[in-house]
Structure 1
């Protein structure tokens, strides 16, 4: 348990208002994280990892939860020391005591600078070291791919993670076409290997090269043709 109601760190008894279960991904884009930007649906990134802190905030209420809620959907790496991976520390100029540096205010599992009899340390592993809250990695780089459904002639641009396989990209495409798995994906009439990434399928990310010669990468998005497997008119 952590603190008391006055200090804002006491767990509440109920499960709180948490989102429904969801399928995890290996990698997430910054936009994926940004969509989860409330106290009832809170994701943050930390040292390239994506954390779902929704259940944590459902257990803890008060001032210690506020900095995390305000940071929901964003990155909190600057709260932590890159070497120790622990919360940054500093020396308080008034008390000359060492404490945790919290520019947005103390947050859950961070103790007070001054001794506090209400502060308990038996909460276990702090959330930033607790693998239960880690749901995947933040992509090193995003890229855009254009999917052209040759059956419906519908075009869909997706922002994807460069590390994702085409199978994972297909999962991202499902909200636009629930029959996505019924299509054969091809590039220049050649079937693609769904277990490999775009790069591994011969579609490297040339956005930097295009920019270096003055071309807009958005005007040169790689296109994948989707052939419906039961449509004999598309070869």
Structure 2
């Protein structure tokens, strides 16, 4: 009887020790990605909807510092055609950068579940422009038509933003150091826009026009910081 109780006690102790190994400990780092597309058409993408890659450093088992960043760059080129096979081009390009710094407080939860609350500081910047060669612009988004010896360089207002966001979330460890997570937040953001500028050259005549931006905006909105995440600790 005593031998049986001893074996059962050792088994329970081993199971508890194994369960404790599932979660990160002080000094661990985690990284994570988002999942989209549902079960049958799952795709991986960087976190935070806009392509965010995020790391966390656990100073303690229940305190983690987080760093996220994202760089997006697009460049689309469209051909327009005129008489006699003449061709012009319209090129649209844009760049966005987003960085977040934050902290999380984790709670006991269960052996596999780690709920937390946290806060982020958000920093962002972006710019976009449209250039044409032998073409004119029309409409939004930019479309155009062939125009011989006409060149346009239109720069949209660049922007910088800063914000603060509170978040709640949870990580569920499906295996040792491997987790699925969900997170949602409510944030405040201030955005400042710059000036726009358009330079047009038709033949040998060049004109430049500058416009003041709409100024600044303030927004408060809830957001899902990528509905489902997968990550690991190392």
Shared topology, TM-score over 0.5?
no
Give TM-score, length-normalised by structure 1.
0.21
Tell which structure's C-alpha radius of gyration is larger.
Answer: 2
Q: As a proportion of its length, which structure holds more helix?
A: 1
Q: As a proportion of its length, which structure holds more strand?
A: 2
